[in-house]
Amino acid sequence: QKEVEQNSGPLSVPEGAIASLNCTYSDRVSQSFFWYRQYSGKSPELIMSIYSNGDKEDGRFTAQLNKASQYVSLLIRDSQPSDSATYLCAVNTQMYSGGGADGLTFGKGTHLIIQP
């Protein structure tokens, strides 16, 4: 059973501070890693994707990947109240050996609260 684990939280962070979200995954052959943000009652929206070991930065967001440790993280700098949401970690799940589109395996999500 391929799994993605996240701390469900809630994670409470003061406004302006750095929020750090973590995720581990079980499938060593996974190649693609995604962070989605989901507001209550809404559908997930992509924040970051990462495919290679190391850091990837996009504005206030930095994704970090360590395939040896099977670990992915998301840092949010200068946290804003609008960042309060559930953050979902997702990993590609190869459905069949012929290649092509993969489904995603999601973690349960981390509920982040930014305190004004």
Partner 1 sequence: ETGVTQTPRHLVMGMTNKKSLKCEQHLGHNAMYWYKQSAKKPLELMFVYSLEERVENNSVPSRFSPECPNSSHLFLHLHTLQPEDSALYLCASSGSPGTSGGPGDTQYFGPGTRLTVL
Nearer residue to partner 1 within complex by CB, 54 or 116: 54
Return the residue of 25, 34, 35, 87 that touches partner 1, per CB under 8 A: 34
Return the residue of 63, 92, 111, 112 that touches partner 1, per CB under 8 A: 92
Q: Let me know if 29 is exposed, middle or buried by CB neighbors in 10 A (0-12, 13-18, 19+).
A: exposed
Rounded to whole angstroms, the Cα distance separating 113 from 11 reads 6
Q: Count CB neighbours of 96 within 10 A.
A: 8
Rounded to whole angstroms, the Cα distance separating 32 from 76 reads 20
Return the residue of 13, 19, 21, 44 that touches partner 1, per CB under 8 A: 44
Q: Can you give the binding site for partner 1, defined by CB under 8 A?
A: 4, 31-32, 34, 42-46, 49, 51, 88, 90, 92-96, 99-109
